[in-house]
Structure 1
Amino acid sequence: MWDSIPNMRHGEDVDAAGAGPDPVDARLGVRLAELRAERGWSLGELAERSGVSRSTLSRAERAEISPTASLLNRLCGVYGRTMSQLLSEVEEEPALLVRAADQAVWEDRASGFVRRSVSPPHAGLRGELVEGRLAAGADIAYDRPPVPGLEQHIWLLAGRLEVTAQDTGHRLDAGDCLRLRVWGPTRFRSTGPEDARYVLAVVLP
Structure 2
Amino acid sequence: MREALEQMGPRLRAVRHDKGWTLDELAARAGMSPSTLSRLESGKRQASLELLLPLTRQLGIRIDDLISVEAPDPRVRRPAIRRDGLVIAPLAPEGSAVHTYKITYPPLRELPELRVHDGYEWLYVLSGRLRLRLGEQDLVLTRGEAAEFDTRIPHAIHAAGGKPAQVISIFNDDGVRMHTHVGGAVASAEDAPVAD
TM-score range, shorter chain: 0.3 to 0.5
Q: TM-score, normalised by structure 2?
A: 0.46
Q: TM-score, normalised by structure 1?
A: 0.44
Greater Rg by CA: 2
